[in-house]
Amino acid sequence: MPQPTFERPSPQAPPVAFPAVTADALVVADFRPRGRRRPPGPYRRLLATPGARAFTIGNLMARLPMGMFSVSAVVMIAGTRGSYALAGAVTATGLAATALVAPWTARLVDRHGQARVAVPATLIAALGSLALLLCVRHGAPAWTLFASYAATATTPNTGGMARARWNHLLKGDADGLHTANSFEQAADELCFMLGPILAAFLCTALFPQAGTLVGVVLLVSGMLLFTAQRSTEPPAAGPRPTAKAPLRAPGIPPLLVVCLAMGGVFGAMEVVTIAFADAQGHRAAAGVVLGLQAAGSCAAGLLYGAMKPAGPAGHRLPWCVAAMTALLTLPLLAASLTGSLPLLALTLLIAGMATAPTMVTTMTLVQQRTPEGRLNEGMTLAVTGLLGGIACGSAAGGWTVEHTSAAAAYGIPVTAAAAALMLTLLPPRRAAS
């Protein structure tokens, strides 16, 4: 068998040249895609913003109790004092106090910074909730319940502060800010969907004060985590801001009136739905039915945020309100023509899908029209308008239920939405974005 032979390379043969391997080449080689990768979605890009996840977790913790406190107060007071009238009066007093105090708290936040103002304001509100808990538990006079719950009006607008941070981080990025506003609106809907359910469960499964106690713990711990993220906090405007007050800014007053009308939709819908379910003998199902409406809004908000907005927000708002008005006729028809609670729940799920896009567009306009350095105050004024509308809508819905029927009272939300639509169709001088 022949043996293999090996020949030494000729010294004249040119050496084999290998490419130089550098650190940059190794980085490219390691991270070079082996196939076509899908680009990250808008919400993944949004939460990839440095510091965004940390302040979002804290904000969601602090925001969840906003959907818990009123339900917890009603269950706690009515369960121990045996009076829904007293419970309703106490919560109404807290709502009115919040409408008066919240803009001033927001103004202080804008002037001195979120951490310096929000933490002490939250602690005062937490003490008010704990005082209410103790007064109810130990049978204190009724006036102490009103005073305690009124003290909770210093609770900062956590959603507004989160939106202010996004506005600071994403300045100049219209598409990113649209996604952020949609995300925050979906978070609002999620908190107001889960909050009442959690509060009712805690108050009934444990003890009447459990919902308020857990809400206080979540509020304080969430706010401390949120304000600890100083790198994402927008700069304070200073004790003497040069920008004019939002109420005097062009385009803001008409938006606040639109918020008032839309608040009427939400307030009336809640009261009328509870009354309709009660008339069907299923009052306990009212929370689930209203939760479906919030679920529809939450899903639509996330979808709306993933889409690129078409045209200026001032042009989109009338279309969003028109869609809300049209979809709100579905619950009216379902209640009036069929009287079926399951069908009503389905129509509320569909009708809720117009809520988040409308609120996202409204808040975008508020951000655009609010003067620099007064953003938190401007958004809190919008929330105050919503609260005022909720109170008016609740009263109108309750009166209509008492004097006509729950089915006919579904006309109140449609009327309020139609009024909001007419307001958005005012001359361009007032409605321009």
Among the candidates 203, 219, 241, a domain finishes at 241
Cα gap 266→278, rounded to integer Å: 19
Is residue 380 situated within a structural domain? yes
Tokens of 82: 């045996």
- List, for residues 85-139, the tens digit of each pLDDT value: 677 677 777 877 887 888 888 888 878 888 888 889 999 999 988 998 888 888 8
Contact predicate 248/377, CB 8 Å? no
Is residue 12 situated within a structural domain? no
Is the pLDDT higher at 251 or at 212? 212
* 264 plus 180 within the same structural domain: no
Tokens of 271: 């009261």
Tokens of 37: 């990768």
Cα gap 136→208, rounded to integer Å: 10
Cα gap 135→139, rounded to integer Å: 6
Among the candidates 217, 241, 265, a domain finishes at 241
Q: Is 194 exposed, middle or buried (0-12, 13-18, 19+ CB in 10 A)?
A: middle
* 249 plus 175 within the same structural domain: no
In 3D space, the residue among 194, 82, 84, 103 whose CA is nearest the CA of residue 155 turns out to be 103
What are the E-state strand segments in 244-401? none
Is residue 45 situated within a structural domain? no
For the chain, how big is the Rg over CA atoms in Å?
A: 27
How far out from the chain centre does Cα 244 lie?
Answer: 26
* 254 plus 226 within the same structural domain: no
Q: Please tell me which of 137-141, 229-233, 410-414 the model is most confident about, judged by mean pLDDT.
A: 410-414
* 211 plus 282 within the same structural domain: no
Is residue 327 scored above 90 in pLDDT? yes
Contact predicate 265/417, CB 8 Å? yes
* 204 plus 266 within the same structural domain: no
Could you give the count of Cα atoms lying within 13 Å of 62 in the half-sphere of its Cβ?
29
* 236 plus 249 within the same structural domain: no
The angle at the Cα of 215, spanning 209 to 219, to the nearest 5 degrees, equals: 150
Q: For the chain, what is the domain count?
A: 2
In 3D space, the residue among 315, 298, 328, 323 whose CA is nearest the CA of residue 364 turns out to be 315
Is residue 325 scored above 90 in pLDDT? yes
Is residue 225 scored above 60 in pLDDT? yes
* 255 plus 228 within the same structural domain: no
In order of 97, 384, 393, the CA distances from 145 in angstroms are 13, 23, 25
Cα gap 171→166, rounded to integer Å: 8
Residues 6+ apart with CB under 8 A from 219: 61, 62, 65, 122, 125, 126, 155
* 191 plus 316 within the same structural domain: no
Is residue 110 situated within a structural domain? yes
* 418 plus 383 within the same structural domain: yes
Contact predicate 397/412, CB 8 Å? yes
Is the pLDDT higher at 404 or at 28? 404
- List, for residues 20-36, the tens digit of each pLDDT value: 444 444 444 444 445 45
CATH number at residue 213: 1.20.1250.20
pLDDT at 21: 47
Is residue 197 scored above 90 in pLDDT? no
Is residue 14 scored above 90 in pLDDT? no
Is residue 5 scored above 70 in pLDDT? no
Domain that holds residue 344: 244-433
In 3D space, the residue among 193, 185, 195, 186 whose CA is nearest the CA of residue 218 turns out to be 195
Contact predicate 222/62, CB 8 Å? yes
* 123 plus 272 within the same structural domain: no
Contact predicate 177/123, CB 8 Å? no
Share of the chain above pLDDT 90, in %: 9
Q: Please tell me which of 29-43, 185-199, 312-326 the model is most confident about, judged by mean pLDDT.
A: 312-326
CA torsion 198→199→203→208, rounded to 10°? Answer: 160
In order of 111, 199, 243, 419, the CA distances from 240 in angstroms are 7, 41, 9, 37
* 231 plus 266 within the same structural domain: no
In 3D space, the residue among 121, 110, 108, 188 whose CA is nearest the CA of residue 363 turns out to be 188
Is the pLDDT higher at 273 or at 131? 131
Among the candidates 178, 212, 241, a domain finishes at 241
Cα gap 236→269, rounded to integer Å: 38
- List, for residues 285-295, the tens digit of each pLDDT value: 776 787 788 78
